[in-house]
Amino acid sequence: MKANYSEQDIQQIVAAQRLFFRTGETLPVEWRKKQLKKLKAAVIEHADEFAAALAEDLGRSEVEAYLCDVGPIIVEINEMLSGLRRWARPERHFSGLMCFPSLITKVYKMPYGVTLVISPFNFPILLTIGVVAAAMSGGNTVVVKSSSKSAACTAVLKRFFAGLFPPEYITLIDGGHDVADMCLAQRFDKIFYTGSPEVGKHVLAEAARNLTPVALELGGETGNWCVIRKDADLRDAARKIAFFKLTNAGQICININQVAVAEEVLEPFLEELKQAFLRQIGEHAELNPEYPKLITEAAYDKCAKLAMQYSDRIVFGGVGNSATRKFAPTIICPVDISEHIVMHELFCPLLPVVPYKDAEVDQLMEVIADREHPLALYLFTKDMRWANRVMQTQQFGGGCINEVCIHMMVKGVPFNGTGHSGMGAYHGEWGFREFTHPQTVLKGSRWFNLSLREHPYSGEAGKTKLRLLKLFER
């Protein structure tokens, strides 16, 4: 496969996949399970190769590579293998009196067909193979457009898929934005995009040309909030926040973008957070080989420039190494809730801290609710009544109370966003649902058909029909 593609090349790839899909080979559940088992075995076999590529692109350690990319893929595929037969089973429904003499209606879970998966740079292995597995579980073929920013992972993935599946079933296309646009110009049956809200708008607009259904997993325009109440366990909260902000150097769609901390506990919380960073990564994170790096020089420069703008309010960190693209975790405090830094997604290790009065926490939540819906929300408090009320009234993708990030690792639950943080959902059965269309089929009868629905609708016959309709439909 050539590294550079023409529009004709991509048309031919899509046409070959459409032809293969029309053979019906992807439909049997046992065939799908066989392919998923093959995928799982290959992921385990290539784990070291994936880890090396993640280290080259993002500076990930072997442990972090397995924790965040390889391990979750294996768990995800295991869930698909155990549940797929049940998920794919047609639903049986009683047709109802209005449909007599029909008794049975079935809902078939049909694959969309030829799908396009556009994967991001921040978790290039997990968010490529994991989404491809969901599409496979639904019985689809897949064209993958992987990120040009994570070049080492893209090269590994291209070899991985090419050695595992025929291109008419799964194929990976590399290249930049021009290649992505050539892909979007094709008529796919489903598109799944993970990335920024701005590019998500572009994907949605291009998909609209062919009325292609789209799933979007986005980071959220104004970022994910973490709220620390005055009754929170500050040491526990700091420990978890530090871990999360260190992971992938903050380049995570569900990461904490900013922390709102009750003024009553601001100073002790800041001290706990500093100590948590020091315990986990040391005094010079930018020199630590375990600490990940920012994906490109442009990403590093953007982070460093923003930190410089707030240099007078940096209370921890604020230093970086441009040669290795590592920028230390950086606490910026105090920051007003209306400042620019907390009005957009940062996607880096900067952590603005917004003080507020604990008695005014509900006003804080109103301000957050007025902004674009985040992908995640995190609360630290002992007041479970308040926390539960907030979680059931705010709009966001998913979140945690007294915890961070691991809600997305729970089996059987969806991972999704809403509004500027996305649409659709996946993981386990939700991924299967995202890549299948529920198709309703009623089985009729040649016998005992009533004339209730047929003309005439006037006279005595019409009056009788109306009485029966009101009886059946009340």
List active site positions.
Answer: 217, 253
| Token pair recorded at residue 351 | 């952590």
Cβ atoms within 10 Å, residue 79: 19
* Chain mean position to CA 172: 19
Per the CB < 8 A criterion, the answer to whether 455 and 104 are in contact is no
Dist CA 227 CA 76 (whole Å): 30
Residue 435: C-alpha distances to residues 55, 81, 117, 410, 415 (Å): 31, 16, 11, 20, 14
Cβ atoms within 10 Å, residue 209: 10
Comparing CA positions, the residue from 225, 202, 204 lying closest to residue 214 is 204
Residue with tokens 């689809």: 140
Cβ atoms within 10 Å, residue 155: 17
Name residue 341's amino acid: I
Dist CA 308 CA 302 (whole Å): 10
Per the CB < 8 A criterion, the answer to whether 160 and 47 are in contact is no
| Token pair recorded at residue 228 | 């620390």
Dist CA 222 CA 258 (whole Å): 10
Helix (H/G/I), strand (E/B), else coil: 110: strand
Beta bridge partner(s), residue 314: 332
Dist CA 237 CA 255 (whole Å): 14
Comparing CA positions, the residue from 325, 421, 319 lying closest to residue 375 is 421
How crowded is the C-beta side of 74, counted as CA atoms within 13 Å? 14
